[in-house]
Amino acid sequence: MDIALVERELDRARRAFGLFFEIFGQRGSAFAPALDAYDAIAVDCYRAIRQAAPTLFRGALLKPLCYMEHGYSPATMRRGIVLSRLLGEANPFPIIRIPWDRDNPWQAVFLHEVAHNLQADLGIWQENRQAVLRRVLQDTADAALTQTYGRWHKEIFADLAAILLGGTAAAWGMANFLANPATKALTYRPGSAHPTAYLRVFILAEMLRRMGFQQQAEQLQTVWRQLYESANPSRLPARLRQSADKLIPRVVDEIAFQPRRNLGQRALVDIIPYTPQDEARIRAGAKTLTTGKIPKDLPPRHLVSAAAFALQSGKIPARQLSNLVVRYLSASNDPIPDIPPLVKVPPLRSPTPIPRAVARPKAAAIAS
C-alpha cells in the first residue's frame, strides 16, 4: 500500500475532526442556547419554503448549523462546496458563522446568510445569475453594468429573500448593518460580490415597495439619503449612480418576481410568501415581547423581526429580551423526540442535571 495515501487519509480525518470539533464543541459552552436559537430560525426559513412549495426541496436535507467565530459580519459555507481545509471534501451541511458579539436573536443579516443557503439548495444559483445578466443587458445595453450586476446577483438575492423571510424589520436591520461611514458605504469595489452598500439600501427599499410597504420604503430611502447627503458621490462610478433609479426596479423584479424554471415556474415571492397580515402579526408580537411574554403565533423567522421592533421600542431591556427569545427558540428547536428506554431504569437518588446542550447535540438532525 502506498504510505502517502494512508497519510493523506489520516490528514483528511484530522482536518475533519478539527473543523467539526471546533463547531460542535461550542454546543457545550455558554453560547449553546444562542446557537440553538439561531439553528431554529434557520430551519424555519427552510420550513417556510416547504410549506409554500412542498416539492421544491428533494427529500430531507441536513439542516444548517451555526457556530461562532471572530469576524465583522456573519458568513456562510454552503452545502456541497469544496473546502480546502478539508482537502477538497464537500461541506456536508450549510455552516453559518456568527461573530461572537452578535449572539442576539434580532439580526436581520442572519436571514441574509440563510438565504444564501436557500438559493444554493434550491438550485437557482446559475439560473438567477443568467436571468440578471440577460435583463440588465437587455435594459441597458451596457456590458460593464451587466457584468457588475451579474457579479452582485447572489447578494441581491439574499437581501431580497431576507425581506421575504423577515418583512420590513429585515430591510431596516440590513440598512442598519450597512450604515457605515460614507467612505466605506459609497465606495465601489471592482470585482466585489457585494453591491456598494449605498445602492444596496435602495434595492431593499424597492423590494419593500413591490411588496406593498410603500410608506416604509419611502421612509427607508429618506433616512438613507439624509445619512449620506453630504458625502462625496464620486466614489460611486457615474454609470452606476446614473442608472440606479431605472435599473434597480428591474433587477428587483427579475430576481424576486419573475418565474424560475428550478422553482417550478414560480417566483421567489411565491415560494417565500410574505403578506401585510404577517407584518401586522409581527408588530403585535413586538408588543407582546415588551411585556415579557412570547408571541407563540409567530414562526421563529418572524420572531427575529418582532424582537427587533421590541428592542427599538425601548420598552424592554436588551438582555431580558434576548434571554426571553433565546430560551424560547432554543426549547422549540427540539426535533428529536425522546426515545423511550427499552428497559425501565430506576431513578437515581440524587440525579446530576446534565446541561441540555451538552447532553443532546442536535446539529446533525435532519430538517424536515
152-171: contacts with Zn ion (CB under 5 A):
155, 158
Q: Between residues 96 and 158, which has the closer beta carbon with respect to Zn ion?
A: 158
Q: What is the largest CA-CA distance in the chain?
A: 78
* Pairwise CA distance, residues 301 & 281, whole Å: 12
Per-residue contact string for residues 97-136; x = within reach of Zn ion by CB under 5 A: ----------------------------------------
Q: Measured from the CB of residue 147, what is the shortest distance to Zn ion in angstroms?
A: 19
The percent helix, strand, coil of the chain (3-state, each to 5) is 60, 5, 35
214-233: contacts with Zn ion (CB under 5 A):
none
Closest CA to 206 of 158, 269, 147, 250: 250
Q: Between residues 115 and 367, which has the closer beta carbon with respect to Zn ion?
A: 115
27-86: contacts with Zn ion (CB under 5 A):
none
H helix or E strand, kind and range, residue 50: helix 32-52
Per-residue contact string for residues 282-311; x = within reach of Zn ion by CB under 5 A: ------------------------------
Span near Zn ion by CB under 5 A; candidates 131-139, 150-158, 336-344, 355-363: 150-158
Q: Measured from the CB of residue 278, what is the shortest distance to Zn ion in angstroms?
A: 23
Q: Between residues 155 and 279, which has the closer beta carbon with respect to Zn ion?
A: 155
* Pairwise CA distance, residues 156 & 136, whole Å: 14
Neighbouring-strand partners of residue 183 = none
Find the angle CA(62)-CA(68)-CA(72) to the nearest 5 degrees.
Answer: 120
**Pairing state of beta strands 65-68 and 95-98?**
parallel
Measured from the Cβ of residue 155, the count of other Cβ atoms closer than 10 Å reads: 18
Q: Between residues 158 and 175, which has the closer beta carbon with respect to Zn ion?
A: 158
Q: Measured from the CB of residue 129, what is the shortest distance to Zn ion in angstroms?
A: 14
Q: Between residues 116 and 135, which has the closer beta carbon with respect to Zn ion?
A: 116
* Pairwise CA distance, residues 360 & 368, whole Å: 19
Binding site for Zn ion (CB under 5 A): 155, 158
